[in-house]
């Protein structure tokens, strides 16, 4: 109990934030976090020291994906983890009359949150973990259970996808 | 360096993950490539915009409390009576059978059905203690300064808890909190010993003359109960009993010295 409190309780906000972004609603996020925490509590002996936040977030993330598979299977389209797509292609900046930074200035808070929500879960979670939770590549690799190279390429693709979705957004286009 | 390689490094640079060699190589490329230099600025602006505007949701208090209760339930051995659903059922069953007995024999008094008042108090204190840890709400007034904590209770309670920092003796004061015990607001003083928080609940003494301190353990926590003057104290902690007793002696000695 004491050990569990020390390990898991400080990261409850991070856990809830991840679950809230992946389930996209408060109620389901609460259920998923509760279930994940009870599992973590049961398997606390499996925690062998190290990064407590990464450990608990790994469990929360697995619960989130189980929930997604059950409730939002259509969201879980596979994304290929090679960096073919993210390779530097001539970015459309040059063709856009607006420089990118000018365009970005028009991006308000709620639109940004909508755009992130619209990303596929594998892209969404990596943006959340890096940009909001400010985790290192190493921690993200641990939570996603993939090599660091995959974290880097997936993050690059997620960012590219997010930025493209803004360029295509009606507000950005009308300006 | 190819632009494609530079773009990859720009991502790492923004995330603070680029090593010195990468940093130098990227800088050399950016000096020559206006396009990539512009890309870096754009990416930095996106990074800042997301950090500034993306929502960070925080765990609702209701969830924290639900979890505290669920964990407390999960870790309680099944044989102990509890306030879980099973425990409630058992109490209802007992109440029902006793009610029947009362109906059958009017000489029986109903109060035998109620759990012992002290037991309930102990359960409540432990629950308050656990909740204070789980809900990240250990203190309302966080201060190691007794002259800040003591006046904080003025006007919030009709009793004045003694507040002494015992840092010199290894039990630093962390702060104070209003809590509810038996449907009444009470003072909770929070101390720490190493990493172990100690909650001292201060209640009015309704038990008459000073009693020697009593100890018990409940759900893995140790409790000590003692009284002085018109105040009753309950210390709850995961600290071992010997250390909790040390704490109690210090606390009580300081209080006796003060008045």
Interface test with A, best of B12, B41, B67, B126 (most A CBs within 10 A): B67
pLDDT at A47 over 70: yes
pLDDT in tens, chain B (259 residues): 899 899 989 999 999 999 889 999 999 999 999 999 999 999 999 999 999 999 999 999 889 888 888 777 776 655 444 445 555 555 555 555 544 444 443 333 333 333 456 777 888 888 888 878 775 567 777 888 888 888 888 878 888 888 888 988 899 998 888 888 877 788 999 999 988 899 999 988 876 555 567 788 877 788 999 888 888 899 999 888 889 999 999 998 888 887 6
Task: Give the per-residue pLDDT at A81.
Answer: 58
Fold of A92-174: Arc Repressor Mutant, subunit A (1.10.10)
**Chain B CB within 8 Å of residue A53 CB:** no
Nearest CA among B128, B136, B133 for reference residue B61: B136
Tell me the C-alpha to C-alpha distance, in Å, between residue B145 and each of B26, B189, B190, B235, B250: 52, 12, 12, 20, 17
ipTM higher than threshold 0.95: no
Q: Walk me through the domains of chain B, giving residue ranges and CATH numbers.
A: 3-53 (no CATH), 60-115 (no CATH), 117-258 (3.30.200.100)
**Chain B CB within 8 Å of residue A21 CB:** yes
**Chain A CB within 8 Å of residue B53 CB:** yes
Residue B57 structure tokens: 């949701």
φ/ψ region of B220 (left if φ > 0, alpha if ψ in -120 to 50, else beta) reads left
From B4, B38, B70, residue closest to A88, measured CB to CB? B4
End-to-end CA distance of chain A: 55
Instruction: Please list the helix, strand and coil fractions of chain B in percent, rounded to the nearest 5, in that order.
Output: 50, 20, 30
Choose which CATH entry (1.10.1740.10, 3.30.70.100, 1.10.10.10, 3.30.390.50) describes domain A2-74: 1.10.1740.10
Tell me the C-alpha to C-alpha distance, in Å, between residue B79 and each of B65, B75, B76, B82: 24, 12, 8, 9
Every domain of chain A and the residues it spans:
2-74, 92-174
pLDDT digits (tens, 9 = 90+) for B190-207: 999 988 899 999 988 876
pLDDT digits (tens, 9 = 90+) for A24-43: 999 999 999 999 998 888 88
**Helix pair A148-167, A109-118: axis angle to 10 deg:** 130
């Amino acid at each position: 109990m004491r050990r569990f409190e020390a390990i898991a309780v400080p990261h409850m906000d991070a856990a809830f934030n991840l679950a809230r972004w992946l389930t996209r609603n408060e109620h389901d996020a609460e259920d998923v976090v509760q279930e994940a925490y009870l599992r973590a509590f049961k398997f606390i002996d499996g925690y062998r020291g190290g990064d407590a936040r990464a450990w608990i977030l790994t469990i929360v993330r697995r619960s989130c994906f189980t929930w997604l598979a059950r409730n939002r299977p259509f969201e879980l389209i596979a994304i290929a983890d090679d960096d073919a797509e993210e390779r530097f292609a001539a970015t459309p900046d040059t063709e856009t009359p607006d420089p990118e930074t000018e365009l970005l200035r028009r991006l308000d808070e709620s639109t940004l949150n909508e755009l992130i929500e619209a990303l596929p879960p594998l892209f969404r979670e990596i943006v959340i973990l890096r940009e909001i939770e400010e985790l290192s590549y190493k921690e993200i690799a641990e939570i996603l259970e993939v090599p660091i190279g995959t974290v880097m390429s997936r993050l690059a693709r997620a960012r590219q996808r997010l930025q493209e979705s803004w360029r295509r957004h009606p507000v950005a286009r009308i300006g | 360096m190819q632009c494609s390689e530079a773009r990859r490094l720009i991502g790492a640079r923004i995330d603070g993950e680029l090593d010195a060699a990468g940093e130098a190589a990227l800088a050399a490329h950016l000096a020559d490539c206006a396009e990539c230099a512009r890309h870096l600025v754009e990416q930095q602006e996106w990074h800042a915009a997301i950090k500034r505007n993306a929502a960070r949701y925080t765990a609702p208090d209701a969830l924290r409390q639900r979890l505290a209760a669920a964990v407390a339930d999960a870790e309680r051995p099944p044989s102990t009576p509890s306030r879980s659903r099973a425990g409630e059922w058992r109490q209802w069953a007992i109440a029902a059978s006793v009610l029947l007995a009362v109906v059958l024999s009017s000489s029986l008094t109903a109060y035998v059905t109620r759990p012992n008042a002290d037991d309930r108090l102990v359960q409540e204190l432990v629950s308050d203690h656990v909740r204070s840890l789980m809900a990240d709400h250990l203190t309302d007034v966080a201060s190691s300064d007794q002259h800040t904590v003591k006046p904080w209770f003025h006007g919030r309670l009709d009793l004045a808890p003694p507040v002494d920092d015992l840092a010199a003796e290894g039990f630093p004061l962390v702060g104070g909190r209003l809590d509810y015990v038996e449907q009444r607001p009470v003072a909770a003083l929070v101390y720490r010993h190493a990493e172990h928080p100690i909650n001292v609940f201060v209640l009015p003494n309704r038990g008459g003359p000073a009693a020697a301190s009593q100890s018990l353990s409940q759900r893995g926590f140790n409790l000590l109960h003692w009284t002085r003057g018109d105040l009753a104290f309950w210390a709850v902690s995961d600290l071992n009993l010997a250390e909790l007793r040390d704490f109690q002696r210090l606390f009580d000695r300081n209080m006796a010295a003060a008045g």
